Structure 1
Amino acid sequence: MKKTVLCYGDSLTWGTDAASGGRHDFEDRWPSVLQAALGPAVDVIAEGLGGRTTAYDDGLADCDRNGARLLPTLLQTHGPLDLVIIMLGTNDLKPIIHGTAIGARQGMKKLVSLVRFHDWGRAYKAPGILIVSPPPLCETNNPLFAPLFQGGVTEAQKLASLYADLADELGCAFFDAGTVARTTPVDGVHLDAENTRAVGRGLEPVVRRILEL
């Protein structure tokens, strides 16, 4: 039976191209690379939204960026699911949102709880959960992003360890995308095409193991 994977993320999942200000080509986005690698036995659903947080409001946004508020609806929309991949936390590091890695960790814990205790109905069980630590922020001279993420480079270095410990605590799978990809100094936040493809390639063996493919 075909497996279904939901990729829940922010602009790194949507595919923001810092150099052009637009979006990477469909085939370059990491969920698309993961889909191509896994083949037709798996449906990979990309749910990326620029500015999405784990569980915090952004009062300046033009739409709802609170990941915890939106997730239950998307679980219901795309269910049943075999695996939910969550790569969030970068936007939590903005001082105007929360500003700390521990805040992102607590938000991620909330998201895991929403998946685990969602009403999947009598016919289906809760999906597996893969927590992904995003590639950490890097230094940039970008006049918008540098102040927007002030202090974020230091905090971002803490995310992988915090998320790994959280995954152990909650019995989730974990992958550190910073081991395969680097953010671009163009804005310090986003990925160029090669690095976003690298996330998809890096996730393939992890997802295969979880889904027992």
Structure 2
Amino acid sequence: MKTVLCYGDSLTWGYNAQTLSRHAYEDRWPSALQAGLGDGVRVIAEGLNGRTTIFDDYASGADRNGARTLPTILSTHSPLDLIIIMLGTNDLKPAICGRAHGSRQGMERLIDIVRGHDYPFDVAAPQILIVSPPALCETPNVDFAGVFEDGIGQSLKLSALYAQVAERMGCGFFDAGTVARADPTDGVHLDAANTRSIGEGLVAGVRSMLGL
């Protein structure tokens, strides 16, 4: 059986902006990916609200620094055949980083961690699929608009930057913005249909990378 790890933030966790709760299990994109791949593949969802690529954020009791928590998660779920990384949105908060190029550097660091990790029993490092998250959009929600101030323009740069990283570092790439749009309720998160669309859109590429 092949094993796929989905490493991300609230978009992977399944944050529902309309209800301020979590989407039903079947509506989260890792679940939709699992349904599309079938029983021969195990999909593990590792989403954390607010997770960044490499930056500290002390506004939560959980460690949101994706680079710091990744090694433990890699060992926990080893052996892995593929890791899908969809991060970068939270880097765009001005208090965190505020620039898409910072997310690009963060993604490069995560790739280095995956490839250089000390895996149990010396198993091989998994393949890597980079996913650029859907761009932010305008919202009447003053809290989210403030937290992500001037973030829309930066979010629109992520796809091209991540595609360049994927090509240069030999990773797979998928632009989630081609199948999903942010919910204007808060301008960041996804409704059920859009988050399912990401999982469904990833099926063909993941099958190819896994040789299925």
User: Fold conserved (TM > 0.5)?
Assistant: yes
Give the TM-score normalised by the residue count of structure 2.
Answer: 0.99
Give runs of aligned pairs for residues 30-109 of structure 1, distance below 5 A: 30-109=29-108
Q: Answer whether contact 2:6 2:83 (CA < 8 A) is retained.
A: yes
1:47-196 correspondence to structure 2 within 5 Å? 47-196=46-195
The residue that corresponds to 1:204 in the other structure is 203
Between the aligned partners of 1:149 and 1:99, the Cα distance in structure 2 is 8
The alignment's C-alpha RMSD in Å is 0.8
Aligned length: 212
| Matched letter for residue 146 of structure 1 | A
Q: What residue identity is the alignment partner of 2:148?
A: F
Counterpart AA for 1:89:
G
Measure how far apart 1:173 and its partner are: 0.5
Percent identity over the alignment is 63
- Looking at structure 1, the residues matched to 62 and 41 of structure 2 have their Cα atoms a distance apart, in angstroms, of 30
Post-superposition offset of 1:143: 1.3
Aligned to 2:20: 21
SS state at 2:22 partner:
coil
Displacement after TM superposition at 1:122 (Å): 4.9
Distance in 2 between the 1:178 and 1:28 partners?
A: 17
Distance (Å, rounded) in 2 between the aligned partners of 1:183 and 1:171:
28
Residue pair 2:75, 2:120 contacting (<8 A) in 1 also:
no
- Structure 2: runs of 5 or more not aligned: none
Q: Write the deviation string for residues 103-160 of structure 1: whole angstroms up to 9, x where unpaired.
A: 0000010100000011124552111000000011011110110010001000000000
Letter in 1 for 2:64: R
C-alpha separation in 2, matches of 1:3 and 1:109:
25
Q: What TM-score does the superposition give when structure 1 sets the normalisation length?
A: 0.98
* Cα distance per residue 1:31-81 (max 9 Å; x no partner): 000001101100000000000000000022221100000000000000000
Q: Secondary structure at the match of 1:95?
A: coil
Structure 2 counterpart of 1:34, one-letter code? L
- Structure 2 distance, partners of 1:73, 1:59, is 20
Stretches of structure 1 that go unaligned for 5 or more consecutive residues are none
Secondary structure of 2:190's aligned partner: coil
Rounded Cα–Cα distance in structure 1 between residues aligned with 2:61 and 2:123: 35
Q: Distance in 2 between matches of 1:205 and 1:139?
A: 31
What one-letter code is carried by the residue in structure 2 that aligns with 1:17?
Answer: N
C-alpha distance after superposition, 1:149-196 (max 9, x if no partner): 001000000000000000011000000000000001000000000000
Secondary structure class of the residue paired with 1:131: strand
